[in-house]
Amino acid sequence: MKPLLKRLGLQGRTAVTAVPYLWLLLFFLIPFVIVLKISFSTSQIAMPPYEPLLQWTGDKVMQIKLNLGNFAFLVEDDLYWKAYLNSIWVASVSTFFCLLLGYPIAYAIARSNPSARNILMLLIVLPFWTSFLLRVYAWIGILKNNGLLNNFLLWIGAIEQPIQMLQTDFAVYVGIVYSYLPFMILPLYANLEKMDLTLLEAAADLGCKPWQGFLKVTLPLSLPGIRAGCLLVFIPAVGEFVIPSLLGDPGMLMIGKVLWTEFFNNRDWPVASAVAIVLLLFLVVPMMYFQRAQDAEAGGVHR
């Protein structure tokens, strides 16, 4: 009786594991294999707009047509390289400013009254619950030539002519920092809040000034939080599409926009797939770092 039950229990476990596993394999992993496959195919005017890789050419001969042209195209046309490099640059600068802004905020909250902390953190994540698209849209009204910010600067007399801010790189940086700031603050706060404050007291007893204590104790201890926050901002920011298309210059090269254009405007699915595969190659290392950090944080390893 007992082994039977045990076996049943085990089967229950298998079923519980299998359901989410199969879902993710089918709808998350296999799609990437298909993207890889289509990135090697040739575009044609049909639906779907690409030629099959495998073809029966009569006489039971199967022909495999691998087309490396899409990748060669990405290398030859410097538009793609510039877009990749520019996206990585924009994402890096935005991540840096997110950290510069998010760290003091996370620190200030982590060192506030315990009763105030939860409310302050709720206020940090609250904007995240309202539409991302509409929050980016709000910046159009603030940054445009007769927008809030220019009107304010004119009113206090800091400038005499409105400054062009919308449709510049500056606007894209503001948009990314604004939208992703909660993602930076959350892991930083989780880290700083857990920190053992007696370490700082010990440092002070040993003659450390407060700023030395911060640099030598707090900052090194918060590195895991910094790493998690930066990855959480950097990786999605590289492929960002909405922010550069609403706030940036129409000619601004971002790879997310390029992929969108190849797919929707040029209807070149194979090239769009190749763009996605190369972007994925750029991001696979930071993603693996993130996964390891996430797994350690979620407490999966110690069991």
Partner 1 sequence: MNQGRNLFRTLVLILGFAFLYIPIVSLIVYSFNSSRLVTVWGGFSTKWYGALLHNDQILNAAFLSLKIAAISATLAVVLGTLAGLVLARFGPFKGRTLLSGLTTAPLVMPEVITGLSLLLLFVTMEQIIGWPAGRGMTTIVISHITLTMAFVTVVVQSRLSQMDDSLEEAAMDLGARPHKVFFLITLPIIAPALMSGWLLAFTLSLDDLVITSFVAGPGSSTLPMVIFSKVRLGVSPDINALATILVAIVAVGVAITGIMMARQQQQRERDAQMALAANQQMIESVKKG
Burial category of 75 from C-beta neighbours within 10 Å (exposed 0-12, middle 13-18, buried 19 and up): exposed
Question: How far apart are CB 9 and partner 1 at their closest, in Å?
Answer: 6
- How far is it, in rounded angstroms, from Cα 280 to Cα 296? 23
Mapped onto helix, strand or coil, the DSSP state of residue 43 is: strand
For residue 125, count other CB atoms closer than 10 A to its CB: 12
Near partner 1 by CB under 8 A: residue from 53, 88, 93, 138: 138
Residue of 122, 202, 215, 219 that binds partner 1 (CB under 8 A): 122
Q: Among 163, 195, 199, 235, which residue sits at the site for partner 1 (rule: CB under 8 A)?
A: 235
Min dist CB 20 to partner 1, Å, is 4
Cβ-based neighbours of 283, under 8 Å, separated by 6 or more: 235, 238, 239
Q: Are 277 and 284 in contact (CB under 8 A)?
A: no
Contact call for residue 86 and partner 1 (CB under 8 A): no
Return the residues of window 150-169 that contact partner 1 according to CB under 8 A: 151
Secondary structure (3-state) at 1: coil
Of 264, 292, 243, the C-alpha closest to 90 is 243
Which phi and psi (to 5°) does residue 131 adopt?
A: -55, 130
Question: Smallest distance, Å, CB 112 to partner 1?
Answer: 7
Sole binder of partner 1 in the list 226, 238, 243, 271 (CB under 8 A): 238
Cβ closest to partner 1, residue 20 vs residue 220: 20
Among the residue ranges 55-63, 65-73, 154-162, 229-237, the one whose residues contact partner 1 (CB under 8 A): 229-237
Asked whether position 176 contacts partner 1 by CB under 8 A, the answer is no
Measured CA to CA in angstroms, residue 1 lies from 7, 11, 35, 112, 121 at distances of 10, 15, 49, 58, 52
Tell me the window of 64-72, 196-204, 216-224, 269-277 that interacts with partner 1 (CB under 8 A).
269-277
120 touches partner 1 (CB under 8 A): yes
Q: Is 266 among the residues that bind partner 1 (CB under 8 A)?
A: no
**194 contributes a contact to partner 1 by CB under 8 A:** no
The strand pairing partners of 62, in sequence order, are 56
- The correct pick among 231, 252, 253, 271 for binding partner 1 (CB under 8 A) is 231
- Span near partner 1 by CB under 8 A; candidates 61-69, 71-79, 98-106, 196-204: 98-106
